[in-house]
């Protein structure tokens, strides 16, 4: 994200979510299931998971506070957001945006996310053929882009980033400097950034802190700026450093 951190953005966003859920007539303590092939205007819960069946069409948002969200093959949804829980999308799923505070995000093969994908504390995994239209980022946790394409930046503060299987990032790969709200030993460890064989970063690798930087000899990057330069990168051959 450009002028505000992922953490502050999601904190504000999810405060709004938690205040609005009861007003939307949510299922307070129950899980919600949208059946295979069903059309739905959206679903909300507080202490429950949300499941969307194969080939379902959801024209509204999926929101929960304490629960996971799962979307099965070939389903189409708007945004999916949770505070404490993971988001798991199967193959060929269409969505606008995916956000969580404490939880992982996994998008299967050939997904289409038109906007952003973001977490505060959690791993993000984008698999082969998936396309994200905007930024992908977290504060703490790994980001794996395996054969997928990101239309914006890939950003972390304390996490590791790995591009593999010919992944493409059309923006920058960014490691932000920890601010005062970062905590624990995460502030002292160096994030590990790997740009694998055949991968391409059309922007630059912008580093506001020192990292462990590995760039394949067959990868293409637009340069390294900030606290490190291209000369500081470890170049490698083979699948992994």
pLDDT at 28: 72
Clarify whether residues 101 and 154 are in a common domain.
no
Check residue 13 and give its pLDDT.
52
Distance between CA atoms of residues 222 and 74, nearest Å: 35
One digit per residue, pLDDT tens: the chain, 241 residues?
443 455 445 544 554 454 455 544 456 778 999 999 999 999 999 899 999 999 999 999 999 989 999 999 999 999 999 999 999 999 999 999 999 999 999 999 999 999 999 999 999 999 999 999 999 999 999 999 999 999 999 999 999 999 999 999 999 999 999 875 554 445 578 999 999 999 999 999 999 999 999 999 999 999 999 999 999 999 999 998 9
Structural domain range at position 17: 1-110
Three-class secondary structure assignment of 160-223: CEEEECCCEECCCEEECCCCCCCCHHHHCCCCEEEECCCCEECCCEEECCCCEEEEECCCEECC
Residues 105 and 200 in one domain: no
Q: Are strands 112-113 and 32-34 parallel, antiparallel or unpaired?
A: unpaired
Report yes or no on 117 lying in a domain. no
Tell which of 67, 90, 110 closes a domain.
Answer: 110
Q: Are residues 68 and 166 in the same domain?
A: no
Domain count, the chain: 2
pLDDT at 15: 47
Residue 121 lies in a domain: no
The answer as to whether 127 is a domain residue is no
**Does residue 122 fall inside a structural domain?**
no
Does residue 68 share a domain with residue 157?
A: no
**Is there a single domain that holds both residue 156 and residue 100?**
no
Q: Is residue 130 part of a domain?
A: no
68 and 18, same structural domain? yes
pLDDT at 2: 40
In this structure, the number of other CB atoms found within 10 A of the CB of residue 182 comes to 16
**Together in a domain, 106 and 197:** no
CB 46 within 8 A of CB 29: yes
Does 153 lie in the same domain as 218? yes
Q: Are residues 171 and 235 in the same domain?
A: yes
Phi, psi of 64 (to 5 degrees): -150, 160
Q: Are residues 150 and 80 in the same domain?
A: no
Say whether both 103 and 206 belong to one domain: no
Strands 143-146 and 69-71: unpaired
Residues 104 and 5 in one domain: yes
């Amino acid at each position: 994200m450009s002028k505000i951190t992922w953490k502050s953005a999601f904190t504000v966003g999810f405060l709004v979510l938690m205040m609005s859920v009861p007003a939307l007539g949510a299922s307070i303590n129950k899980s919600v299931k949208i059946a295979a092939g069903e059309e739905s205007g959206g679903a909300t819960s507080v202490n429950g998971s949300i499941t969307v069946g194969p080939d379902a069409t959801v024209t509204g948002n999926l929101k929960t506070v304490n629960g996971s969200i799962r979307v099965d093959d070939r389903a189409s949804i708007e945004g999916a957001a949770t505070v404490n829980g993971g988001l798991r999308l199967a193959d060929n799923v269409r969505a606008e945006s995916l956000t969580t505070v404490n939880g992982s995000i996994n998008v299967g093969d050939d997904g289409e996310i038109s906007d952003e994908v973001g977490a505060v504390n959690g791993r993000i995994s984008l698999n082969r053929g998936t396309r994200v239209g905007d930024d992908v980022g977290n504060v703490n946790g790994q980001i794996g882009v395996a054969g997928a394409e990101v239309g914006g930046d890939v950003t972390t503060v304390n996490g590791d980033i790995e591009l593999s299987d010919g992944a493409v990032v059309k923006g920058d790969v960014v490691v932000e400097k920890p601010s005062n709200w970062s905590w624990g030993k995460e502030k002292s460890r160096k994030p590990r950034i790997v740009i694998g064989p055949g991968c391409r970063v059309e922007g630059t690798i912008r580093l506001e802190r020192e990292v462990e930087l590995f760039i394949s000899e067959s990868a293409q990057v637009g340069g390294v700026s900030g606290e490190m330069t291209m000369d500081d990168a470890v170049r490698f051959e083979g699948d992994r450093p």
